[in-house]
Amino acid sequence: MTAKPLVGIITNETVGFNGRQIAHSTGKRYVDSVMQFAGVMPILIPTCITTQDVGALLDHLDGIVLTGGRANVEPQHYGGAAFPADEPIDPDRDKIVLDLIPACVKRQMPIFGICRGIQEINVSFGGSLFYRVHQQAGMDDHRMPQNEDAAVEEIFRPRHPIHFTKNSQLRDLVDAETFVVNSLHGQGIKDLAPGLTVDAYSDDRVIEAISIDDYQSFGIGIQWHAEFHPERAENLLNKRLFEEFGKACLAYQRGHNES
């Protein structure tokens, strides 16, 4: 029996046990969604790997998932203003992901960017980010509820519509002009990089989905969290995205095995 496609899920550097332990981790929902709806075998990619290791790693993978994370992409990577001193950062993730994405693109490997992941794709192609979307004139607050006691269901509930562009790949997945998604981000795309196309906007014109131009595989980034309950009818688009990503990973695996 042919093995399932092997997909790498990028991790974040997190601190636990009151600062006594640093870990490489990601949310269980990403792993569960990739397994259940993409039908692949996931492995976690620690951000401590070196640039020299990227090629050897990708030789064994059939796709990449760029997850969300508490830390934002640091501004020196896109010519932005310096962060405040208390801003969470993850320098190792910044470095390895900005090396990883071009290497994946060169191979035409499936790439699925979620929340921070869409921002990383844009930055890797030469685009820029808003530090805080809600501080921009005419733009809404896209952050999670600021109430510390907010329940998980409230944090991840669908909050606003997105509008698909004319030739959006996402429109075809749900046969609709709009869809309602959740929203948990502070940063957002400012200047779209060359080589990328917008697939969806929010009402206030925040870029909500992008795709890589002329890509031979799945190359999509989304600003919302598709990993939260893709099985629910209200989240059909999220389920379909994972399914299409899985199909692309299987096609890549087959092509890789035949070459």
Catalytic residue numbers? Answer: 115, 225, 227
Instruction: Please report, as a single letter, which amino acid is at residue 214.
Output: D
The rounded distance, in Å, linking the Cα atoms of 220 and 63 is 12
How far, in whole angstroms, is CA 251 from its chain's centroid? 21
Tell me the angle at which helices 116-124 and 91-107 cross, rounded to the nearest 10 degrees.
70
Instruction: Please report, as a single letter, which amino acid is at residue 142.
Output: H
The rounded distance, in Å, linking the Cα atoms of 52 and 56 is 8
Q: Is 76 helix (H, G, I), strand (E, B) or coil?
A: helix
The rounded distance, in Å, linking the Cα atoms of 167 and 219 is 15
The strand pairing partners of 188, in sequence order, are 130
Apex CA 151: angle with CA 134 and CA 142, to 5°?
15
Apex CA 25: angle with CA 148 and CA 244, to 5°?
95
The rounded distance, in Å, linking the Cα atoms of 178 and 182 is 13
